[in-house]
């Protein structure tokens, strides 16, 4: 220790004394943007149970309520269809309906929605035929609808890979002079994927009119958020890209709708992208094939049941005199009618044409595909002859 | 698809040698001038004009919105191109080097190749992915891969590779015009190969999916593409001294595969060698040899042989000449075509 100190003292010289050459100081470093306005608030935004509800349009509140009730029934019906073998799989959003519904209602007709495989309900709330929305999960085709019709991209099964699509579409729309916004949905697990990073980075650099909407439901199948990220929150990630991050209570339909609408409006006016994280919870298992009891306890689920999005809104509306017994029954009946129609239509076997296998691989079939189509045609003919 | 020609207004007959890089650049410029939905994007394609200068001048001429320097992220480049295509644009994406395209594979395989199919034709993907590929330029690791077999194995993609200056123009024009995604493999060691093709004169758009016979012959067919085409042409000249009159078929398109031209040639000559740089095991040659055998078995005088790169990771530049199939290795294979049953 002594010798070290000695040695260092021998090389120490008075500042500047023996320097014949003075290096030019580098340019002073400046942060590119003040990170403070980009940071999310410490607490997720809540509107229900606060005075802020008074500012909300009663018509919107009633509509949100009806959609939540319908959404809950849709989740239950679709889950029942998996038990009857009518759906191969259904990733439920029970408990997350506020996020799904608000995402759909925050968009204008000309905007685009980029759902993940779990976001069937958002697509339905946007107006898509429930049966068309379930085609992927039933297994009769990979996408049951024309994405241009409702401006809903195909439900995306790989994680986060639809986020760059949303950026590209929003960017292209802006280049064409259209004030179109893309809203891209992803789960907490999806934020770990490389495409999440690349999409956010592209969007911020291009100032593309995109809203990234993370539904943090606590688990990526079985892996809890603590094992997914070390970030203070997923919304904090926004700061690193140079876009605002917003935290919202994902079970507060009014708050989610408000935050998403603000982000969409900001994007539409040329303000660039926003990352919104909604804190919510998946009440059901990942899918019908998952056993959630292996990774979480009943008490945790019960805590979240008490913070149910429908309960929260129903209580608020009732207190404010916007909802009575008749209104509740009306919403429940409308949901039941939807479920009955869905059940009936899903009980019919879909009519499939095997020749479709070759119809859309390329704009024009290659010679090889023409040969293979002929082979299948012959096999089908032989089958039908054999009865 | 029919072959047609386009003329630039200021066309002059003065023919001066043009390079493949210039032909590719003109193809993009002509396409961008004719169609405002054509956008070029990638790392360094704007101000720098690409590390091979293939996009030189496009940003200046068409603006940064049409020829865009992107962040350095291949999945992001291709992923945003998917969204642009969804909104009606025709993105032409540059992947700077063959091995740099790998991060974009998920976008390519999970989305670009199957979006049309997934949406029953509602969402075509008119995207061109330009990939400078192959070795022979002394590139360090990750700069010389021949990745065509990966692309060929993915339904929904077209895989195209020119070998001449003329084809570089004609095939890239067709690729940009295609409503389906095209992996456009540019043999980087041919970027500076020249031709009397004039950058000003009218130029043909070549249909995708048609092979051409580069050299007529009677003794055997060399089936090849991209950077191996000049090797085979040289081998065919050299083989004359041995009494072999070789036919050379340049595939130009690996997907769709032109069985007709290839089979017709092999039926005429009775012998075939497939030549490419990519590894032999699991490589394109195995598929091609199988197709030829299935179609021409009774015409074959010898097994279909393959001359390919060794089954090794692409070697360091100081050893690459030992790996790349050269004229001698092609001629050795041709000699082995004097095959006798039971030998």
- Flag whether pLDDT at B2 surpasses 80: no
In chain B, what residues touch A182 (CB-CB under 8 Å)? Answer: 83
B181 to chain A, minimum CA–CA distance in Å?
9
- How close is the nearest chain A Cα to the Cα of B116, in Å? 6
Q: Is the dihedral of CA A190, A191, A192, A193 positive or negative?
A: positive
pLDDT of residue A16: 55
pLDDT value at position A17?
61
Looking at residue A3, what is its pLDDT?
Answer: 46
Model ipTM over 0.95 = no
Q: Which residues of B touch A169 (CB under 8 A)?
A: 83-84, 86-87
Mean pLDDT for B98-111 is: 97
Which run of H or E residues covers position B4?
strand B4-6
pLDDT at A18: 66
Give me the residue from B84, B155, B209 closest to A171, CB to CB.
B84
Q: A149-178 burial, b if ≥16 CB within 10 A, otherwise e?
A: ebbbbbbbebbbbbbbbbbbbbbbbbbeee
For chain B, the distance separating the N- and C-terminal CA atoms, rounded to the nearest angstrom, is 46
The answer, yes or no, to whether residue B340 has pLDDT greater than 90, is no
d(CA B303, CA A367): 25
Q: From CA B179, how far away is CA B122, in angstroms rounded?
A: 12
Out of A169, A201, A361, closest to residue B156 by CB: A361
| Closest CB from B73, B124, B260 relative to A198 | B73
B78-93: pLDDT as tens digits: 999 999 999 999 999 9
Cα-flanking dihedrals φ and ψ of residue A290, to 5°? -105, 145
pLDDT above 60 for B7: no
Model confidence pLDDT, tens digit, residues B38-51 = 999 999 999 999 99
Q: Which residues of A touch B158 (CB under 8 A)?
A: 362
- Contact of A154 with chain B, judged by CB distance below 8 Å, is answered with yes
Who among A158, A360, A367 is closest to B120 (CB)?
Answer: A360
Which chain B residues contact residue A363 at CB under 8 A?
A: 116, 121, 124, 178-180
The answer to whether the CB atoms of B83 and A195 lie below 8 A apart is no
Q: What is the 3-state secondary structure (H, E, C) of chain A?
A: CHHHHHHHHHHCCCCCCCCCCCCCCCCCCCCCCCCHHHCCCCCCECCCCCHHHHHCCHHHHHHHHHHHHHHHHHHHHHHHHHHCCCCCCCCCCCCCHHHHHHHHHCCCCCCEEECECCCHHHHHHCCCCHHHHCHHHHCCCCCCCCHHHHCECCCECCCCCHHHHHHHHHHHHHHCCCCCCEEEEEECHHHHCHHHHHHHHHHHHHCCCEEEEEEECCEECCEEHHHCCCCCCCCCHHHHHCCCEEEEECCCHHHHHHHHHHHHHHHHCCCCCEEEEEECCCCCCCCCCCCHHHCCCHHHHHHHHCCCHHHHHHHHHHHCCCCCHHHHHHHHHHHHHHHHHHHHHHHCCCCCCCCHHHHCCCCCCCHHHHHHHHHHHHHHHHHHHHC
Under-50 pLDDT residues of chain A: 1-9
Q: Which pLDDT does position B96 carry in this prediction?
A: 94
Which chain A residue is nearest to residue B36, measuring alpha carbons?
A: A176
Q: Give me the pLDDT at residue A211, please.
A: 98
Q: What percent of chain B has pLDDT over 90?
A: 89
pLDDT for the residue A85: 93
Identify all chain A residues contacting B156, using CB atoms and an 8 Å cutoff.
Answer: 361-362
CB contact under 8 A, B82 and A172: no
Work out the pLDDT band at B66, boundaries 50, 70, 90. very high
**Tens-place pLDDT, residues B251-279:** 999 999 999 999 999 999 999 999 999 99
Out of A197, A295, A328, A343, the active site residue is A295
Task: Read off the pTM.
Answer: 0.93
Q: Residues B306-319: what's their mean pLDDT? A: 97
Give tens-digit pLDDT for B158-181.
Answer: 999 999 999 999 999 999 999 999
pLDDT band at B15 (very low <50, low <70, confident <90, very high): low
**Min distance B258 CA to chain A CA atoms (Å):** 8
Closest-CA residue in chain A for B68? A206
Condensed to tens digits (0 to 9), the pLDDT of residues B185-201 reads 999 999 999 887 777 77
DSSP 3-state of B133 = strand
């Amino acid at each position: 220790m002594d010798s070290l100190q000695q040695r260092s003292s021998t090389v120490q010289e008075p500042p500047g004394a023996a320097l014949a050459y003075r290096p030019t100081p580098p340019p002073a470093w400046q942060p590119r943007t003040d990170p403070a306005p980009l940071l999310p608030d410490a607490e997720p935004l809540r509107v229900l149970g606060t005075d802020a509800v008074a500012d909300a349009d009663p018509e919107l509140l009633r509509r949100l309520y009806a959609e939540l009730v319908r959404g809950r029934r849709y989740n239950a019906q679709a889950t029942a269809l998996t038990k009857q073998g009518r759906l191969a799989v259904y990733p439920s959003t029970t408990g997350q309906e506020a996020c799904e519904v608000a995402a759909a209602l925050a968009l204008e007709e000309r905007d685009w929605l980029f759902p993940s495989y779990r976001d069937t309900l958002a697509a339905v709330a946007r107006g898509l035929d429930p049966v068309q929305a379930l085609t992927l999960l039933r297994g009769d085709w990979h996408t049951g609808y024309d994405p241009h019709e409702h401006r809903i991209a195909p439900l995306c099964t790989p994680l986060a890979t639809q986020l760059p699509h949303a950026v590209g579409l929003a960017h292209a729309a802006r280049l064409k002079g259209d004030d179109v916004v893309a809203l891209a949905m992803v789960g907490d697990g999806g934020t770990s994927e490389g495409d999440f990073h690349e999409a956010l980075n592209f969007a911020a650099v291009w100032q593309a009119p995109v809203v990234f909407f993370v539904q943090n439901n606590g688990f990526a199948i079985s892996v809890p958020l603590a094992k997914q990220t070390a970030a203070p929150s997923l919304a904090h990630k926004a700061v690193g890209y140079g876009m605002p991050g917003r935290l919202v209570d994902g079970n507060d339909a009014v708050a989610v709708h408000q935050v998403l609408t603000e982000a969409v409006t900001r994007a539409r006016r040329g303000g660039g992208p926003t990352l919104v994280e909604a804190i919510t919870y998946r009440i059901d298992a990942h899918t019908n094939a998952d056993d959630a009891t292996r990774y979480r306890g009943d008490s945790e689920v019960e805590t979240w049941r008490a913070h149910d999005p429908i309960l929260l809104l129903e209580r608020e509306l009732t207190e404010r005199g916007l909802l009575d017994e008749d209104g509740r029954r009306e919403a429940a009946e409308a949901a039941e009618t939807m479920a009955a129609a869905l059940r009936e239509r899903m009980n019919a076997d879909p009519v499939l044409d095997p020749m479709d296998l070759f119809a859309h691989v390329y704009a024009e079939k290659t010679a090889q595909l023409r040969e293979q189509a002929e082979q299948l045609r012959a096999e089908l003919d032989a089958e039908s002859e054999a009865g | 698809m029919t072959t047609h020609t386009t003329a630039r207004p200021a066309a002059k007959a003065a023919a001066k040698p043009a390079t493949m890089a210039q032909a590719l650049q003109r193809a993009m410029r002509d396409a961008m001038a004719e169609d405002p939905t054509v956008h070029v994007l990638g790392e360094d394609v704007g101000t720098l004009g690409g590390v091979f200068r293939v996009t030189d001048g496009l940003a200046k001429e068409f603006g940064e919105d049409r020829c865009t320097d992107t962040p350095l992220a291949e999945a992001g480049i291709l992923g945003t191109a998917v969204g642009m295509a969804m909104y009606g644009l025709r993105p032409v994406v540059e992947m700077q080097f063959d091995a740099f395209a790998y991060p974009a594979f998920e976008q390519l395989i999970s989305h670009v190749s199957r979006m049309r199919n997934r949406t029953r034709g509602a969402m075509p993907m008119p995207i061109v992915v330009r990939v400078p590929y192959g070795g022979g330029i002394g590139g360090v690791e990750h700069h010389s891969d021949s990745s065509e077999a990966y692309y060929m194995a993915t339904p929904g993609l077209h895989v195209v590779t020119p070998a001449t200056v003329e084809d570089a123009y004609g095939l890239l024009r067709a690729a940009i015009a295609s409503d389906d995604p095209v992996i456009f493999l540019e043999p980087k060691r041919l970027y500076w190969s020249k031709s009397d093709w004039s950058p000003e004169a009218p130029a043909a758009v070549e249909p995708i999916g048609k092979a051409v016979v580069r050299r007529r012959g009677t003794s055997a067919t060399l089936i090849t593409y991209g950077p191996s085409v000049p090797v085979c042409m040289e081998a065919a000249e050299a083989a004359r001294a041995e009494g072999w009159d070789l036919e050379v078929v340049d595939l130009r398109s690996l997907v769709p595969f032109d069985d007709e031209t290839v089979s017709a040639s092999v039926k005429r000559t009775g012998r075939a060698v497939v030549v490419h740089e990519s590894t032999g095991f699991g490589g394109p040659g195995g598929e091609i040899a199988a197709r030829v055998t299935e179609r021409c078995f009774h015409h074959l005088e010898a097994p279909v042989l393959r001359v390919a790169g060794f089954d090794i990771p692409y070697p360091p530049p100081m050893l690459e000449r030992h790996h790349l199939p050269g004229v001698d290795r092609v001629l050795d294979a041709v000699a082995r075509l004097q095959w006798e049953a039971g030998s």
